[in-house]
Amino acid sequence: MKIAFFNAKPYEIEFFKKANLTDGHQICYFEMRLTEQTVELARGHEAICTFVNDVLGRSLLERLSQLGVKLVALRSAGYNQVDLVAAREFKISVVRVPAYSPYAVAEHAVALLLTLNRKTHRAHNRVREGNFSLEGLLGFDLHGMTVGIVGTGKIGLCFAEIMKGFQCRILAFDPNPNPEAIKRGVEYVGWEEFLEKSSIISLHCPLLPQTHYIINAKAIEKMQKGVVLLNTSRGGLVETTAVIEGLKSGKIGYLGIDVYEEESALFFDDHSGEVIQDDLLARLMTFPNVLITGHQAFFTEQALENIAMTTLSNVTEFERQGSCRNQVGVE
Ligand code: NAI
């Protein structure tokens, strides 16, 4: 199939070129994101390939269908960025990569936690300047702490297993309890009990209308003072203004985020020479107990290899059968 590949980064092109030795598609790599201004590049392609921050709203999908596009191949697991109702209306199928490395994301959540707790980022900078003072670097033992996980699917379960290794007690909130998690000693509780009893909370559920702002002022109010909040899932799960208030009052002791609700304007590109116009993100960056990474939790060699292989085999399956097992649609 002819595929217009938007938002292409050199690090992923390498993996896609290798995977395409098997699938043999004709891929045009475009550096630009998919927007109203760049959509014309899709002309002459039956499929487009996009990433998490290429937002596919109704008007873009309508234009894509006029240009002859039949398939959107997402190289992501999440698909909240696509208007699936409009995709169905314009007869565009949407496929995704449901799992590529749950370990990558869970391990990054742990990296955020360990860095926030033991302040290795600050210690590293100090030591390089010849400052060996321990002032301000005090951490806490993870051993014996209660860790709360929102969403115990593939990534949440990996995170639970790692935290079990630290001998933490694991609580979970998920409308669909995972039998594997129960087998491994994860305890499912109601939302209020979850918020009250967890010293560390890590988000691993998808962004859905029901989970939008699941962490809001009301939820923060119920949390323990000094709670550690981690979000490696989707920015829209967290109401940033409420979290800023929680940090200012000391209710939230640490915040580690790999995703941010307004990330699409900034993440994945170098803005180091510009003035950041997003005042909420700028405020978050001023807190000493906040650690932000730019949506890199997925970014491991194994994950990139799996993303490339599954994305291209999704396109091949769609081309041969007119459908694909990794298709997403409106429920
Ligand atoms: P999954 O589908 O295996 O698990 C999601 C879990 O969330 C399921 O157990 C589901 O029952 C649960 N859930 C659904 N609604 C819920 C609710 N209202 N409250 C609590 N739990 C709820 O998904 P997986 O693979 O574990 O991925 C989780 C999320 O991680 C993805 O949706 C995506 O947003 C995010 N992600 C982030 C990446 C990054 O680089 N930062 C990379 C990949 C995924």
Give the model confidence (pLDDT) of 68-81 as tens digits: 999 999 999 989 99
Residue 127 has pLDDT above 80, yes or no: yes
Cβ of residue 176 lying under 6 Å from some atom of ligand 1: yes
Cβ of residue 174 lying under 6 Å from some atom of ligand 1: yes
Mean pLDDT in residue range 235-253: 98
Residues in the chain: 331
Nearest CA to ligand 1 atom 20: 174
Is residue 308 very low, low, confident or very high in pLDDT (cuts 50, 70, 90)?
Answer: very high
d(CA 327, CA 324): 5
Write the CB contacts of 305 (distance below 8 Å, at least 6 apart in sequence). Answer: 15, 18, 19
Mean pLDDT in residue range 172-195: 98
Query: Which CA distances in Å does 208 have to 25, 109, 214?
Result: 33, 21, 10
Catalytic residue numbers read 234, 263, 295
Mean pLDDT across the chain, nearest whole number? 97
Residue 212 has pLDDT above 80, yes or no: yes
Residue 214 has pLDDT above 90, yes or no: yes
Q: Is the dihedral of CA 72, 12, 99, 204 positive or negative?
A: negative
Question: Tell me, what's the pLDDT at 209?
Answer: 94
pLDDT over 70 percentage in the chain: 100
* C-alpha R_g of the chain: 21
- Our CA angle for 219, 224, 230, nearest 5°, is 70
How many angstroms separate the most distant Cα atoms in the chain?
Answer: 64
Residue 285 has pLDDT above 90, yes or no: yes
Residue 331 has pLDDT above 80, yes or no: no
Cβ of residue 77 lying under 6 Å from some atom of ligand 1: yes
d(CA 329, CA 76): 15
Nearest CA to ligand 1 atom 1: 153
> Which residue of 205, 216, 259, 298 sits with most ligand 1 atoms within 8 Å of its CB, as the best mutation to test the pocket?
205
Nearest CA to ligand 1 atom 15: 205
Cβ of residue 53 lying under 6 Å from some atom of ligand 1: no
d(CA 107, CA 122): 20
Q: Give the tens place of pLDDT for each residue, 4-59.
A: 999 999 999 999 999 999 999 999 999 999 999 999 999 999 999 999 989 999 99
Residue 330 has pLDDT above 90, yes or no: no
Domains along the chain with CATH numbers:
2-100+300-328 (3.40.50.720), 102-292 (3.40.50.720)
Which atom of ligand 1 sits closest to the CA of residue 211? 18
Residue 236 has pLDDT above 90, yes or no: yes
Indicate the angle between helix axes 102-118 and 120-128, nearest 10 degrees: 60
Cβ of residue 236 lying under 6 Å from some atom of ligand 1: no
Centre of ligand 1 from the C-alpha of residue 206, in Å: 4
The dihedrals phi and psi of 330, each to the nearest 5 degrees, come to -80, 135
Mean pLDDT in residue range 245-274: 96
Question: Tell me, what's the pLDDT at 309?
Answer: 98
Mean pLDDT in residue range 143-171: 98
Residue 62 has pLDDT above 80, yes or no: yes
Tokens of 4: 């217009």
Tokens of 321: 């059968």
Host H or E run for residue 72: strand 71-74
Q: What is the pTM of this model?
A: 0.94
